[in-house]
Amino acid sequence: MKGARNISVEKSNMEPIISITNLSKIYRVGSEKVVALQDVNMNINKGEFCCFLGTSGSGKSTLLNVLAGLEKPTRGNIRIKNVSIEKLNEKKLAAFRQDNVGFIFQAYNLVNYLNAVENVSLPLMFKGVSKKERTKRAVDLLKAVGLSKHLRHKPTQMSGGQQQRVGIARAFITNPEIIFADEPTGNLDSKTSLEVLDLMAGLAKKNRQTLIMVTHDLNIAKRADRIVYILDGRIEKIEEKQYTGVSYEQN
């Protein structure tokens, strides 16, 4: 365990995929300034399962959004794979997301009028992959997440857990190096939550993908390799598992 700021987790066998330097995000609400993030510095390593833990309003979601390029930081620098993403324009950002990033949402955010296969293949469609190929890949992945019987189901015909499995499949379909998950279990009961979590973490570990999750639930956070406690826009502390890189089931 180390101090809240100026943490360097660089170990010789690890390569940072994300480096955050002096990151601040300040909102202006009328004449009031609201500091959402203040001077955040940290690195996230490739293949790591990192969790931002904090209460509502702590700034953990803002941190995720800024990392994902959904919001521009007020100050500071974010380098993902050595690209300063805060400097990218909309078009480059879209291309960057297509190639490197997957998203999993609390509310699943599936497109209601598309079936499971179509939903999962959306990111591939945006990349311009042919319908035949993207459908094949989507079907394969949906089978892998245990939805072989729900390929042509619309989101409204599926349970929350099933919907989130579709969401996970959609995030992994492009084989991104980084997956952002914003309260992925927030709408699920505890049993389903664990199933979904296992699925997510298992897929990420298998391909050595970096998984960054936001949650307010310590029990969920405990599954991560590293827990970053966020409080009032600052990193309060970082807890690391003893054996980084070892699957959590073994702990």
Partner 1 sequence: MKISDVLGMSLKNLLRRKTRTLLTLIGVLIGTTSIAVMMSIGVGMDRTFENQLSRMGSLHTITVNSYYFPENGGFAEQKNLDDKVIKEFEQIEGVEAVMPQLRAFLKFASGRYVAHVDLIGIDSSKMEAFDFEISEGRLLNGDDKGAIVFGSQVPYFFYNPRAVGNSGMIMFGDNGEPPPVNVLEDKLIMTFDMSYGESYANQPGNVRRKTYKAQGVGILKESGEYSYSAFINIDYLKKLMQDNEREEKRIAASQGGSEGSIVYYNTSYSRGGSSSRNTSYETVLVKVTDVNKVEEVQNKIKEMGFGAYSLADARNEMKKTLAVVQAILGAIGAISLLVASLGITNTMYMSIYERTREIGIFKVLGCYLKDIRGMFLIEAALIGFFGGAIGIGVSYTISAIINTIAVRVMMDMGEGASISVIPLWLALAAVAVAVLVGLIAGYFPSKRAMKLSALEAIKNE
- Which residues bind to partner 1, rule: CB under 8 A? 65, 68, 70-71, 90-91, 94-99, 101, 103, 105-107, 109, 111-113, 122-123, 125-128, 130-131, 170, 183, 186
Tokens at residue 92, please?
């480059």
Amino acid at residue number 47: G
Q: Is 105 helix (H, G, I), strand (E, B) or coil?
A: coil
Residue 69: how many CB atoms within 10 A of its CB? 20
Q: Closest CB to partner 1 among 82 and 112? A: 112
DSSP 227: E
CB of 112 to partner 1, least distance (A): 8
Sign of CA dihedral 129, 106, 33, 218: negative
CA atoms of 62 and 228, how far apart (whole Å): 14
CA atoms of 176 and 230, how far apart (whole Å): 26
Q: Closest CB to partner 1 among 96 and 248? A: 96
CB of 91 to partner 1, least distance (A): 6
Q: Closest CB to partner 1 among 99 and 198? A: 99
CB of 115 to partner 1, least distance (A): 11
Q: Is 242 helix (H, G, I), strand (E, B) or coil?
A: coil
Query: In terms of DSSP H, where are the helices of 101-151?
Result: 116-127, 131-144
Residue 33: how many CB atoms within 10 A of its CB? 10
CB of 213 to partner 1, least distance (A): 15
Q: Closest CB to partner 1 among 130 and 219? A: 130
CB of 195 to partner 1, least distance (A): 21
CB of 10 to partner 1, least distance (A): 30
Single out the residue of 102, 119, 117 nearest to residue 182, CA to CA.
102
Single out the residue of 84, 78, 83, 80 nearest to residue 41, CA to CA.
78
Q: Closest CB to partner 1 among 180 and 229? A: 180
β pairing state of 178-182 and 101-104: parallel
Q: Closest CB to partner 1 among 16 and 211? A: 211
